[in-house]
């Protein structure tokens, strides 16, 4: 390079290097400081200068010099890291992007970014910095989205497969009023049941602006259908479904074959370290919690649906009134254990009959708060102890 070397933030001549690793920026020139203390970085072909700051209020809105050709398809996705809602972007193959974290010791170490899940094998150069609340997407970090495949190429599918995928993942069938999903086993009063049907109808009817809604309509009430009213012994309250295709209507649960989300990994970790449990818990190789539901554990979310990639998007549309009615109905029973993890679940706790039931409150099992009270709480052995003292069969947490 003929031009003089730029100076870094500490006013020293910067070191000029070339990106050698395969990827969207392969072959590009950049300048960095020769010392680790200075976090200077600058692309020399795009003149995108980055000066990190320690202020928590700063906005990381720089583009990092990415070419427009590698931007891919992004729906309602901003590059402002301001905590606003984000969606899962699509790569150049129109597939859900994969969320990863920068691991190398560089100015952006620890930042999250979206990339194609098959970039190495399919030469997709899609890249976008993550924006929004990290805790809403922690279960997606490092999780590779599923793709339809054929023998020819991982992104070419038959028309019939495309139609099946659209039907399965977007729930955009022409629903009639008689097809509105409804739980088969929950007992609520008629006004609440009417409100539930109105809310579920609002969710599944998108005739003007179809949207991706999870879980699939036939799984919206999975928690209620898997654990009947008469069988409820334990209630685990969640916020809303995972904002991805693997949500299936039960809080914290994913079906077999899906990578266990980090919050559920922490739930398993707490079970495993609880020495008061008999038998001691052994972690399974999946995150499917149907075995708990069948023993009387109601895995209930406060909100029963979510829009793709938008955690808590359906908060306030009416589900809370229905799930409040479920908790009110449970007041007819006694000796139920309520496990309330985190602020959202504990807000629901005001409706619980604490005189005749046991309420155990801890922090949320998310990686951001598990160490603030959840881990080490022994909430599962306390749950079983209470059930035993009241003449009820305990939960075999190993039965999954």
Instruction: Name the residues annotated as catalytic.
Output: 240
- Are the C-beta atoms of 94 and 73 separated by less than 8 Å? yes
Q: Which of 340, 385, 383 is nearest to 363 (CA)?
A: 340
Residue 272 CB neighbour total at 10 angstroms: 14
Tokens linked to 93: 């193959």
Tokens linked to 345: 């679940």
Residue 396 CB neighbour total at 10 angstroms: 15
Residue keyed to tokens 């998108």: 206
- Are the C-beta atoms of 61 and 81 separated by less than 8 Å? yes
> Alpha-carbon distance 126 to 48, whole Å?
19
What is the helix (H) or strand (E) element at residue 165, kind and residue range? helix 159-170
> Alpha-carbon distance 182 to 200, whole Å?
8
């Amino acid at each position: 390079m003929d031009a003089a070397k730029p100076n870094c933030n500490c006013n020293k001549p910067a070191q000029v290097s070339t990106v050698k690793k395969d990827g969207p920026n392969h072959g590009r020139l950049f300048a960095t400081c020769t010392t680790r203390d200075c976090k200077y970085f600058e692309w020399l072909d795009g003149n995108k200068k980055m000066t990190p700051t320690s202020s928590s209020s700063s906005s990381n809105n720089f583009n990092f010099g990415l070419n427009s050709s590698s931007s891919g398809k992004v729906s309602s996705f901003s590059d402002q890291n301001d905590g606003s809602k984000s969606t899962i972007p699509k790569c150049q193959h129109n597939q859900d992007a994969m969320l990863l974290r920068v691991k190398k010791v560089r100015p952006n170490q620890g930042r999250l970014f979206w990339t194609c899940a098959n970039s190495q094998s399919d030469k997709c150069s899609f890249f976008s910095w993550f924006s929004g609340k990290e805790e809403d997407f922690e279960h997606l970090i490092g999780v590779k989205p599923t793709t339809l495949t054929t023998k020819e190429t991982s992104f070419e599918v038959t028309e019939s497969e495309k139609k099946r995928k659209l039907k399965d993942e977007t729930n955009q069938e022409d629903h009639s009023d008689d097809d509105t999903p409804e739980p088969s086993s929950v007992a609520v009063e008629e006004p609440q049941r009417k409100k539930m049907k109105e809310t579920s109808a609002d969710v599944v009817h998108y005739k003007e602006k179809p949207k991706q809604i999870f879980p699939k309509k036939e799984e919206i009430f999975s928690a209620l259908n898997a654990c009947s009213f008469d069988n409820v012994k334990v209630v685990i309250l969640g916020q809303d479904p995972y904002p991805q295709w693997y949500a299936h209507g039960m809080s914290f649960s994913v079906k077999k074959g899906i990578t266990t989300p980090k919050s559920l990994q922490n739930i398993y970790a707490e079970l495993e370290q609880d020495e008061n449990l008999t038998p001691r818990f052994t972690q399974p190789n999946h995150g499917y919690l149907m075995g708990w539901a069948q023993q009387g554990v109601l895995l209930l979310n406060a909100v029963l649906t979510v829009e793709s990639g938008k955690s808590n998007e359906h908060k306030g549309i009416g589900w809370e009134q229905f799930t409040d009615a479920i908790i009110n109905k449970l007041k007819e029973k006694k000796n139920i254990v309520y496990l309330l993890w985190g602020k959202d679940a504990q807000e629901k706790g005001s409706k619980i009959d604490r005189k005749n039931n046991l309420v155990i409150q801890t922090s949320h099992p998310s990686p951001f708060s598990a160490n603030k009270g959840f881990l080490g709480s022994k909430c599962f052995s306390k749950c079983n102890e209470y059930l035993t003292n009241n003449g009820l069969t305990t939960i075999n947490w190993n039965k999954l």
